[in-house]
Every structure is written in structure tokens, then in C-alpha cells.
Amino acid sequence: MKFNKNAFQSINDRKYRNWDGYSLIYTHPFLEKIVNKIDLNKIEVVFDIGSRDCCQALEFSDWFPETQIYAFEPIPQSAEWCKKAIEGRNNIKFFDYAVSQTDGTIDFYEITNGNIGASSMLKKNDKHHYGSQYQQKKISINSIKAKTFIEKNNINKVDLIWMDVQGAEIDVLSSFENHLNNVKAIHTEVGLSEIYEKSTIKNELIEFMEKRNFSVDHVISNNEGVEQDIVFINQKL
């Protein structure tokens, strides 16, 4: 499972295209920070949850050409983009459903007036200056618990999680149950306040993760004081 450390030279080494053009290599600062803390040559499985356009799944495929990448994106329009984007990538498997604490169908709120990646399992918070700008359309999507998926597919362990789930962070991570114990590192976006109704906020997520022996390794970015990208490291591993 050799780590290809020369896959990208920097975050600006653009290669994969999303709706807005060619995307930054967002996985670069994540791996750059953890390379001396985790043996990246032993990464066997990566989950990309809330993939939107599969750009990060493709990046992980380049970083880890022998590793199995599982990408999840439930919105039909995004799912079709993802399927086309990963054609020919044998180490990426794509699934057009959400990861949550529900096995079955759930309500989902698709953004119709901007970044479709801001769609969520949660309703927008009209009292939030950022969330109130969204226009949402309720749709029904397929969902699966991470625990169910892992055991159904005979996955030994998940090593890395890359996650962008728009306020549903604790819901998604809770669905791993005991399988979260084997995860080495997690990169996730999280809100600093409730952009969506009853969405996870930063302090809640840190408390949740610390109870499970994960610590904050670093904060990568800050989006206008609204959201941050946080990396957690499993202290037991």
C-alpha cells in the first residue's frame, strides 16, 4: 500500500475539475500534516463521505494507488458527475447514498441556489446569517450506517476518513460505532455555529471525538468565520 508522496507538489497543483473549474488539491495540506505521525504506507481503506464531485477521491487514488477508496454522494446530480469523474479508476468504488444513523431512506435538503455541496440532511437555520441564504428542496435519498456498510462489504478497517457532511458530523461518525476505534485520522469540515437546524458545531464535535480518544491535530482553514476544516488523530493508534 505504498504512499505516492510525489503525487502532488502543493495545494495549487490542480488536476481534477469540479463545477467551478479545476479544484485545489485539498488533500495536500491534510497529508502533509499527518505524514510524520501515521505510516501512510499502511493505508488500506479511505472513506470519502459527502464527496460532491469525487475530486478528493481522485486525489486519494493518486496518493494511494493500491488503496481502496469508497466515495459516498447521495444527490442525483452530483452522483452522476462522480460516476463519470472516476471512470477507469479501479481503486475507487462509488455509492450514491448518504452515510448516517439510518439504514433506508431519509429526507435530504438539496441546495438549489448555489453550491450544491452545501446540501444537507438538515434544514437550513433561517436565524443564521449564512444558512438563511440557502434555498433548499426536500428530496428522498438512500442512506446506510457506516457500521452496516463496513460489515456488509467485509472491510477489515477504515484507515482515513475525509468528510464534508454539512452539519451532520456527529450523526455520521456515530454510525461507525466500534469501527471508529480503528480509524487513524479524520479530516472534516465543521460549523462554528448552527448553519443548519441542530447542526454539529466545533466544540460539540471536539468533545465527541475526545471521548473516543481522538485529539485535534490541527485546523487547516477558516471560511469567513463560519466553518473550519479540522483534522483528528486517533491517540490509541
Residue 1 near residue 202 (C-beta atoms within 8 A): no
Confidence (pLDDT) at 21: 83
* CA nearest to 135, candidates 119, 146, 121, 148: 119
Q: For residue 83, tell me if it sits in a domain.
A: yes
Residue 8 is assigned to a structural domain of this protein:
no
pLDDT digits (tens, 9 = 90+) for 121-156: 999 999 998 888 999 999 999 999 999 999 999 999
- pLDDT of 194: 93
Inter-CA distances, 45 with 1, 75, 76, 161, 164, Å: 10, 23, 25, 9, 18
**DSSP state for residue 40 in the 8-state scheme:** G
Is 158 inside any structural domain? yes
Q: Identify the segments of the chain with pLDDT beneath 50.
A: none
Structure confidence at residue 221 (pLDDT): 74
Residue 11 lies in a domain: no
Task: Examine residue 162 and state whether it is found in any structural domain, yes or no.
Answer: yes
Residue ranges making up the domain that contains 189? 17-234
pLDDT at res. 60: 98
pLDDT confidence of residue 114:
81
Name the domain count of the chain: 1
Predicted pLDDT at 129: 85
- CATH for 174: 3.40.50.150
What was the pLDDT predicted at 1?
65
**Residues 105 and 142: beta-carbon distance below 8 Å:** yes
9 domain residue, yes or no: no
Cell digits of residue 6: 510525489
CA distance 77 to 18: 13
pLDDT of residue 203: 95
Whether residue 129 lies inside any domain: the answer is yes
> The whole model's pTM is what?
0.95
Spatial contact of 57 and 71, defined as CB atoms under 8 Å apart? yes
* Residue 210: inside a domain: yes
C-beta of residue 84 within 8 angstroms of C-beta of residue 91: no
